[in-house]
Chain A
Amino acid sequence: MKKLSKTTKSSLITYGIVVFAYIFCEIFMRTGHMSSLLKGILVPLCVYVVLAVSLNLTVGILGELSLGHAGFMCVGAFASAVFSKCMMETITVPTLRFALALLVGVVCAGVCGVLIGIPVLRLRGDYLAIVTLAFGEIIKNLVNVIYLGVDSNGFHVSMKDAMSLQMEPDGLVIIKGAQGITGAPTDSNFTIGVVLVLITLVVVTNLVHSRTGRAIMAIRDNRIAAESIGINITKYKILAFSISAALAGAAGVLYAHNLSTLTALPKNFGYNMSIMILVFVVLGGIGSIRGSMIAAVVLTLLPELLRSLNEYRMLIYAVVLIATMIFTWSPSAIGFRERYSPAKLFHKREKGVQ
């Protein structure tokens, strides 16, 4: 057998974890050991993993802080839900319909990523963070006031109410402002979610280990040095940012097709969501794709597993967040870990024997 390179091996381990987790969950589900609560959380889990991995591309690989990731998810979700609702009668195979909706959502979010990336990526650091946050909020607000209808004359758009769409009697209102989209087909399931996670992982790991990925990381490590050896900064930045946005759009598609009613609330598409994804990325380890995947799963399951503690669960979540950060980064905690790490203790004992 040909010897695998280190990076290939690492990616294969990541894919292996996903496949193993999938088989494990399926066995549990088939044998009836899974509560309905946990069953309901499986697809959102895939959504969060895709979001965390895609944001890691912006934060970890490109090195720019983005607080508006939920905005791209929102674009993907709404674009694909509109498509699915229009095509509900035309295409009757759910998987095919989902695949096409995915394409629509990904392309829309990717285009948004390019459009937003061009002005935004001129800024740096906290300014970039606040502008991405602003874009996310604008997208959420706009979606909340748009009314979209379709009839024999084509599409009608209004920002006021359903009446001002002036549609034919046979028309169908698709987006009802703040009420969102109701009655879109729920085409996604856990298997599709896992396939999407795998696709995301393949895209991101291959990008990171390619020539393009190395160029992007060179920009992250030293922008001026990268520019001086002839790397086109703007091109690679926008490339990474829009791929990240497109993948967030894919997560949005999965999210939208898991619900029969899709509304843009602060909870699901606001900055709180963007911050939550960022928490996954940072806790999992910035730049580590497997890390953000695991963090997304653990942090989504944690509040559910703590459900017996009721009102204390979010408090515990907050304390875990702070404690993890202090334990990972504070100098005294690092010293403590070095002194008492199992590997070191073991090593010392070995030396003593000699």
Chain B
Amino acid sequence: MSFVSYLLNGISLGSVYAIIALGYTMVYGIAKMLNFAHGDVIMIGSYVAFVAINSMGLPIPVAILLSVAACTLLGVTIERVAYKPLRHASKLAVLITAIGASYFLQNVALLIFGANTKSFSSVVKMQPIQLAGGQLNITGETIVTVAACIVIMICLMAFMKYSKAGHAMLAVSEDGGAAQLMGINVNGTIALTFAIGSALAAIAGVLLCSAYPSLTPYTGAMPGIKAFVAAVFGGIGSIPGAFIGGILLGVIEILGKAYISSQLADAIVFAVLIIVLVVKPTGLLGKQIQEKV
């Protein structure tokens, strides 16, 4: 029975990784950049929700909406101020700018909220479900997280497949120059991608802090890196890939912690990643790009 409950915990953590990874993978697919500040957007989102609930006393749905709105605005602003001037610069320059943005957000949070750990109260008020005569305990957070992740993924896939903006995103990720010639507003599309990615980050932040309730300015950094690993694991740029990668990563991490060593859990996650990439260099669902001479 303990195996099943570990598995459920893993899927729950993996769902959070998957939501973050969806944001990573979309931004990567379109802007071809690693947005290192993504993890810190999560942290800011959690702080906004924390302040809205604890200091302003707003009801939980309003607080979540506020957090989503704040992160969307933040994501678009970062893109406009820091990344847009570097659209045609070298990849490494953009990477360093993203690192700068990440430091910036961490230190702003440090200045405003201080280094003390805030204990985040869960936004899920659902009673845990007891199965198998009380041996298996499924918390409300697990159910809500997994459900949210599945709903988000289905919505995103439908958005990419059926909406005009989704088609525009696909076109820009395929060939930005050609998309512009076809009359697609490339800058607008990239801004929209950042907006969606950051909104997802806010949701992920709230869910992450509901399950693991300690909030510091550095809360977002490690989940951000893990989600990036998940996105690469599943094949970066692919939406189902990010989902599968996230879930697998969460499950491996929790099972590794439970059965092998709690200190080595991260090492196990990374070792699995290396094995996958060495065997299949484009990730699980990544497309092989033929190199032209």
Residues of chain A whose beta carbon lies under 8 Å from any beta carbon of chain B: 59, 65, 119-120, 122-124, 126-127, 129-131, 133-135, 137-138, 141-142, 144-145, 159, 178, 224, 271, 275, 278-279, 282-283, 286, 311-312, 314-315, 317-319, 321-322, 325-326, 328-333
Selected from B89, B110, B236, the residue in CB contact (under 8 A) with A329 is B89
- CB contacts (< 8 Å) of B104 on chain A: these are 315, 318-319, 322
Nearest opposing residue in chain A for B82, CB measure: A322
B175 interfacial by beta-carbon distance below 8 Å: no
Selected from B103, B270, B293, the residue in CB contact (under 8 A) with A138 is B270
Closest chain-A Cβ to B267's Cβ sits at a distance in Å of 4
- CB contacts (< 8 Å) of B28 on chain A: these are 126
Closest chain-A Cβ to B151's Cβ sits at a distance in Å of 28
A154 to B106, CA, bound (A): 47
Closest chain-B Cβ to A331's Cβ sits at a distance in Å of 7
- CB contacts (< 8 Å) of B82 on chain A: these are 322, 326
Assuming A137-B266, A311-B107, A326-B82, what are 11 further A-B pairs, CB within 8 angstroms? A65-B92, A122-B278, A126-B28, A126-B236, A130-B229, A137-B267, A142-B264, A318-B100, A322-B97, A325-B96, A325-B97
- CB contacts (< 8 Å) of A317 on chain B: these are 103
Nearest opposing residue in chain B for A137, CB measure: B270
Nearest opposing residue in chain A for B225, CB measure: A271
B271 interfacial by beta-carbon distance below 8 Å: yes
A133 to B282, CA, bound (A): 17
Q: Is the CB of B93 within 8 A of A329?
A: yes
Q: Is the CB of A278 within 8 A of B96?
A: yes
Q: Is the CB of B277 within 8 A of A127?
A: yes
A318-B273 contact given A141-B267, A145-B263, A326-B97, CB 8 Å threshold: no
A326-B273 contact given A311-B111, A319-B104, CB 8 Å threshold: no
- CB contacts (< 8 Å) of A141 on chain B: these are 263-264, 266-267
- CB contacts (< 8 Å) of B86 on chain A: these are 325-326, 329-330
- CB contacts (< 8 Å) of A126 on chain B: these are 28, 34, 232, 236
Closest chain-A Cβ to B225's Cβ sits at a distance in Å of 7
Selected from A130, A159, A318, A325, the residue in CB contact (under 8 A) with B107 is A318
Q: Is the CB of A311 within 8 A of B110?
A: yes
A331 to B264, CA, bound (A): 46
Q: Is the CB of A328 within 8 A of B99?
A: no
Q: Is the CB of A145 within 8 A of B261?
A: yes
Q: Is the CB of A279 within 8 A of B267?
A: no
Q: Is the CB of B225 within 8 A of A131?
A: no
- CB contacts (< 8 Å) of A275 on chain B: these are 36, 99
A330 to B5, CA, bound (A): 51
Q: Is the CB of B96 within 8 A of A321?
A: yes
Nearest opposing residue in chain A for B262, CB measure: A145
Number of chain B residues whose Cβ lies closer than 8 Å to a Cβ of chain A: 46
A131-B93 contact given A141-B264, A314-B107, A315-B111, CB 8 Å threshold: no
A130 to B235, CA, bound (A): 12
A223 to B106, CA, bound (A): 39
A115 to B93, CA, bound (A): 29
Nearest opposing residue in chain B for A281, CB measure: B92
B85 interfacial by beta-carbon distance below 8 Å: yes
A302 to B190, CA, bound (A): 34
- CB contacts (< 8 Å) of B288 on chain A: these are none
Q: Is the CB of B228 within 8 A of A283?
A: no
Give the 9 A-B CB pairs with smallest separation, nearest first: A321-B100, A329-B89, A330-B85, A134-B270, A141-B267, A318-B103, A318-B104, A322-B100, A315-B107
Nearest opposing residue in chain B for A319, CB measure: B104
Taking each of A134, A178, A311, which has the highest tally of chain B beta carbons within 10 Å of its own beta carbon? A134
Q: Is the CB of B85 within 8 A of A127?
A: no
A43 to B97, CA, bound (A): 28
Closest chain-A Cβ to B97's Cβ sits at a distance in Å of 5
Pairs across A and B, CB under 8 Å, 19 listed: A130-B228, A135-B270, A135-B274, A137-B266, A137-B267, A138-B270, A275-B36, A275-B99, A282-B92, A311-B111, A315-B111, A318-B100, A319-B104, A321-B96, A325-B96, A329-B86, A330-B85, A331-B88, A332-B85
Nearest opposing residue in chain B for A134, CB measure: B270
- CB contacts (< 8 Å) of B267 on chain A: these are 137-138, 141-142
Taking each of A59, A319, A326, which has the highest tally of chain B beta carbons within 10 Å of its own beta carbon? A326
Nearest opposing residue in chain A for B90, CB measure: A329
A77 to B101, CA, bound (A): 31
- CB contacts (< 8 Å) of A119 on chain B: these are 274, 278
- CB contacts (< 8 Å) of B97 on chain A: these are 321-322, 325-326
A123 to B92, CA, bound (A): 17
Docked complex: B70-92 residues within 8 A CB-CB of A? 82, 85-86, 88-90, 92
- CB contacts (< 8 Å) of A315 on chain B: these are 104, 107-108, 111
Q: Is the CB of B89 within 8 A of A330?
A: yes
- CB contacts (< 8 Å) of B94 on chain A: these are 325
Taking each of B95, B106, B108, which has the highest tally of chain A beta carbons within 10 Å of its own beta carbon? B95
